[in-house]
């Protein structure tokens, strides 16, 4: 069994991975910016511990990585994907520089295994975006570290405890209309967080697997189809799209960027409306040999009645 550090361990992907790894007998160390985090999903697991630190602070990382065999790097900045340069919550500061800090700590701690949580959009041609450059640089740092490593390029993730999809499912019970950003034509292969956690566990435990592995669900759909399916599973009946023009979204993003704590940005609109997130081979089911859930099956498992 391994001692495993998870950066971003209190986030959606991180906490589900921590729970599964803990149940598989590993000692899991969760990195958190807070001194005493309370993560409901991890309560009652005796082999889960917390360590305070920040991927932007190399001193705290040295303590966090010390004594670990492996690390899962699933960190994201607060309010992702809306950057806030005023607080240094940006793709470059967290994804690139933060991961490079982790690599130096991993090398010093002589880690045996690294699993980097990246994005499937890196596999496809996309519009220019700060997230793409930052994550590609982070991925490169992981593979150049000299530590046995794999990058899991994860598709759109849904979970019973994420901050968006369950809310949409509940709202659909009261409204027949589903807001769609732009034309909703961008493609994705949404994946249940349980399948993501399983891919992470197998990636940690199988050091013979390296390179880039996709983590995608069984069904490829448009964003419009995804959101309507989420709403229909949540409401139990058919729902209809309400398209919000992309130009209006960019205007709202430009205004929001001027606020102290922006809730939207023009780059976030691009991220949500233009990124092609089709899956690229090899996918985790091919590499690790487990069946990934289809969309409706996964949504019912996540938050369907």
**Using N-to-C axis directions, what is the helix angle for 58-65 and 98-108, rounded to 10°?**
40
Look at residues 213, 189, 145 and name the one whose alpha carbon lies nearest to residue 278: 189
Residue 222 — left, alpha, or beta (φ > 0 → left; ψ -120 to 50 → alpha)? beta
H or E element that contains 212: strand 211-215
Alpha helices in 163-245 (DSSP H): 165-171, 193-205, 223-235
Indicate whether 36 pLDDT > 90.
Answer: no
What 3-state class would DSSP assign to 243?
strand
Residue 271, in any domain of the structure: no
Strand-strand pairing, 240-244 and 3-7: unpaired
Residue 184, in any domain of the structure: no
Q: How far apart are CA 175 and CA 256, in angstroms?
A: 26
Indicate whether 305 pLDDT > 70.
Answer: no
221 in Cβ contact with 190 (< 8 Å): yes
Domain extent for 47:
3-156+191-216+279-290
Look at residues 93, 102, 32 and name the one whose alpha carbon lies nearest to residue 72: 102
Q: What is the pLDDT of residue 65?
A: 97
Look at residues 182, 5, 228 and name the one whose alpha carbon lies nearest to residue 101: 5
Q: Say whether the peptide bond before residue 155 is cis (omega within 30 degrees of 0).
A: no
Residue 126, in any domain of the structure: yes
Q: Phi and psi of 181, rounded to 5°?
A: -75, 125
Percent of the chain with pLDDT over 70: 99
Strand-strand pairing, 240-244 and 48-52: unpaired
Which DSSP string do the residues of 43-99 spell out, in sequence order?
TT-TTEEEEE--TT-HHHHHHHHTT-SEEEE----TTTTS-BGGGTBSHIIIIIIHH
What's the mean pLDDT when you consider all of the chain? 94
Could you tell me the pTM of the whole model? 0.95
Tokens 């967290």, residue located: 94
Residue 270, in any domain of the structure: no
Residue 272, in any domain of the structure: no
What 3-state class would DSSP assign to 285?
helix
List, in order, residues 6 or more apart from 245 with CB less than 8 Å away.
182
130-139 pLDDT, tens digit each:
999 999 999 9
CATH code, domain carrying 36: 3.40.50.720
Q: What is the pLDDT of residue 304?
A: 62
Number of structural domains the chain divides into: 1
Residue 87, in any domain of the structure: yes
Q: Name the more confident of 137 and 275.
A: 137
Token digits for 221?
Answer: 């759909």
Residue 262, in any domain of the structure: no
Q: How far apart are CA 54 and CA 59, in angstroms?
A: 9
Residue 247, in any domain of the structure: no
Q: How far apart are CA 190 and CA 183, in angstroms?
A: 18
154-183 pLDDT, tens digit each:
999 999 999 899 999 999 999 999 999 999
What pLDDT band is residue 34 in, cutting at 50, 70 and 90? Answer: confident
Q: Phi and psi of 108, rounded to 5°?
A: -65, -35
């Amino acid at each position: 069994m391994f001692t495993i550090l998870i950066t971003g361990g209190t986030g959606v992907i991180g906490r589900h991975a921590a729970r599964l790894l803990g149940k598989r007998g590993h000692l899991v160390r969760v990195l958190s910016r807070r001194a005493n985090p309370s993560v409901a999903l991890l309560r009652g697991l005796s082999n889960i511990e917390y360590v305070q630190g920040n991927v932007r602070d190399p001193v705290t990382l040295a303590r966090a990585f010390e004594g670990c065999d492996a690390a899962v790097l699933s960190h994201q900045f607060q309010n992702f994907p809306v950057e806030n340069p005023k607080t240094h919550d940006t793709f470059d500061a967290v994804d690139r520089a933060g991961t490079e800090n982790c690599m130096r700590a991993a090398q010093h701690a002589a880690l045996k295994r690294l699993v980097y949580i990246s994005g499937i959009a890196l596999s496809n041609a996309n519009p220019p975006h700060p997230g793409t450059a930052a994550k590609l640089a982070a991925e490169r740092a992981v593979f150049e570290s000299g530590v046995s490593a794999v990058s899991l390029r994860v598709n759109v993730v849904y979970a019973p405890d994420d901050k968006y999809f369950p809310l949409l499912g509940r709202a659909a019970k009261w409204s027949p209309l589903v807001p769609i950003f732009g034309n909703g034509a961008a493609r994705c292969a949404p994946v249940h967080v349980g399948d993501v956690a399983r891919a992470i566990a197998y990636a940690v435990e199988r050091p013979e697997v390296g390179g880039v592995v996709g983590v995608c669900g069984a069904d490829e759909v448009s964003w419009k189809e995804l959101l309507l399916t989420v709403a229909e599973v949540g409401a139990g009946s058919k729902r209809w799209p309400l398209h919000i023009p992309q130009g209006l979204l960019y205007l709202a993003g430009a205004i929001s960027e001027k606020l102290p704590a922006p809730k939207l940005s023009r780059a976030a609109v691009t991220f949500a409306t233009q990124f092609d997130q089709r899956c690229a081979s090899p996918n985790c089911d091919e590499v690790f040999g487990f069946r990934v859930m289809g969309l409706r099956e996964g949504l019912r498992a996540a938050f369907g009645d």
